[in-house]
């Protein structure tokens, strides 16, 4: 992110800033002096959005893209009714910056609970969907429930005298894995619950469940055709980064989302940083984000490259979000574990202020 100078005179000669959006128009070459301060500040006011809420004025730096800052919380398969009620309560009472799109993705079982109790300020996303209409595909179910099924089935087999528990356990584990691979929800169900977004291509779906680019692409195409926005996840494994294949991997994954880009947010999540506590440096993230935007420019259009939000995910928390947000091509975050803590998630949302400097 190119930081706006604290010198108002120097701002006059550069691109103007409107909120967090970059404009291609230029300011007039107006001569500025203290004797013409009234005209000067009139010109500044016309081209800068200045905020004053008891904190002094802040000028806004430009984002490389023209989209609004976006922060998503992926709750994955975490939570109970009680813990989610507490989390929703914390989010409802949080003070969030207005110039940020905020989305949370609860486990499918709790989407209805969240949708009915969460403030309208925050939108709701599904974590997955199916490739077409209907079918026997519901939402992600925690491994806890499969463990319960395994226990009850093993107990039942023991009661009827079946004692080959090694075979039984292996069989039930395989059955559980197959069930997990199929527990998708239809886009129609997602929409019926009021979700406006769905997360697709997450590394846990790619590398644990085995979803490939073609399958992910089918899901994305159908979701978009039904008016549901897609948070499109891409990212490389550690060995791919070490082999210098980061860009190749990300570009190949991007191809799966080819089609309509009007309602797509790209989430770059290096797999080696997800849930590991190892976060990409701001410079590493920025490098990939620049490359992704350049790919969109060359393979789709400059307009799409500008409009598409490219957000970062991978061990984002309240401590590192501010430094990451300062980078020009980081348009927001997809947050995992830290999104389960209301106050910390609010801090990450409000890291948008890192793109603003004191005037």
Is residue 328 annotated as a catalytic residue, yes or no?
Answer: no
CA-closest candidate to residue 66, choices 99, 98, 24, 22: 22
66: its two tokens: 């023209």
Beta-ladder partners of 332: 70
Q: How are beta strands 21-26 and 15-18 bridged, if at all?
A: antiparallel
**Chain-centre distance for alpha carbon 69:** 10
HEC string of 84-118? HHHHHHHHHHCCCCCCEEEEEECCHHHHHHHHHHC
Catalytic pick among 47, 202, 236, 240: 202
Q: What angle do CA 78, 72, 143 make, to 5 degrees?
A: 20
Catalytic pick among 140, 269, 328, 344: 269
**Rounded-to-integer distance, Cα 162 and Cα 27, Å:** 82
Is residue 144 annotated as a catalytic residue, yes or no?
Answer: no
CA-closest candidate to residue 71, choices 347, 356, 287, 354: 347
Tell me how far CA of residue 236 lies from CA of 127, 218, 257, 347, 348, in angstroms.
Answer: 20, 21, 17, 27, 24
Tell me how far CA of residue 228 lies from CA of 168, 190, 200, in angstroms.
Answer: 41, 9, 12
What positions carry a catalytic annotation? 202, 269
């Amino acid at each position: 992110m190119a930081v706006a100078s604290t010198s108002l005179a120097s701002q006059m000669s550069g691109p103007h800033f409107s909120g967090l959006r970059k404009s291609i128009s230029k300011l007039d070459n107006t001569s500025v002096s203290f004797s013409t301060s009234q005209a000067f500040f009139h010109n500044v006011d016309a081209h800068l959005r200045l905020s004053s809420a008891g904190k002094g004025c802040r000028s806004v730096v430009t984002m490389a893209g023209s989209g609004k800052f976006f922060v998503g919380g992926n709750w994955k398969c975490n939570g109970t009714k009680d813990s989610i009620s507490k989390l929703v309560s914390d989010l409802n009472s949080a003070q969030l910056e207005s110039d940020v799109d905020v989305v949370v993705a609860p486990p499918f079982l709790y989407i209805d609970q969240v949708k009915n109790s969460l403030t309208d300020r925050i939108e709701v996303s599904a974590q997955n969907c199916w490739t077409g209409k209907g079918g026997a595909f519901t939402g992600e179910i925690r491994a806890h429930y499969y463990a319960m099924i395994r226990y009850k089935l093993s107990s039942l087999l023991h009661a009827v005298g079946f004692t080959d528990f090694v075979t039984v356990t292996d069989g039930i584990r395989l059955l559980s894995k197959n069930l997990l691979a199929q527990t998708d929800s239809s886009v129609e169900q997602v929409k019926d619950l009021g979700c406006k977004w769905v997360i697709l291509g997450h590394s846990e779906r790619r590398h644990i469940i085995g979803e490939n680019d073609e399958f992910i692409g089918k899901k994305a195409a159908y979701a978009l055709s039904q008016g549901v926005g897609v948070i499109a996840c891409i990212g490389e494994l550690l060995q791919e980064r070490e082999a210098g294949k980061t860009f190749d991997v990300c570009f190949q994954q991007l191809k799966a989302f080819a089609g309509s880009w009007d309602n797509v947010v790209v989430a770059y999540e290096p797999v080696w940083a997800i849930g590991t506590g190892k976060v990409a440096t701001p410079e590493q993230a920025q490098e990939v984000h620049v490359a992704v935007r350049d790919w969109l420019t060359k393979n789709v259009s400059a307009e799409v490259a500008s409009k598409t939000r490219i957000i970062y995910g991978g061990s984002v928390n309240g401590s590192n979000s501010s430094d990451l947000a300062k980078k020009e091509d980081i348009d927001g975050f997809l947050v995992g574990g830290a999104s389960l803590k209301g106050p910390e998630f609010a801090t990450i949302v409000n890291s948008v202020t890192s793109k603003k400097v004191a005037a």
